[in-house]
Amino acid sequence: MYGMKRTTIYLPDDLKARLEGVAAREGSSEAEIIRQALESDLEKRDRPPLPIPLFASRGVASDSARRVDEVLDEGFGRA
């Protein structure tokens, strides 16, 4: 386990059972499944958030939330 630190987590019973099932089906350790899931989640969280012009205050009408379909059509060139 070179380059790794040991840690302890507490899981709800149902999540632990799902983890055991995935590990058994894939022939992998629970630790490896946890590492993969955590790596995937952290990669997503590390990405900068995408700008959502639908709710931006500049250049978009304040009623955009009510007109979501119309605004999306405009954004995709369908209006």
Tell the residue number behind the tokens 């630190």, with chain if given: 5
3-state secondary structure 22-58: HHHHHCCCHHHHHHHHHHHHHHHHHCCCCCCHHHCCC
Question: Where along the chain do its domains lie?
Answer: 13-46, 49-79
Tens digits of residue pLDDT in 7-45: 999 999 999 999 999 999 999 999 999 999 999 999 988
pTM check: above 0.85: no
* 14-20 long-range Cβ contacts below 8 angstroms, 24+ apart: none
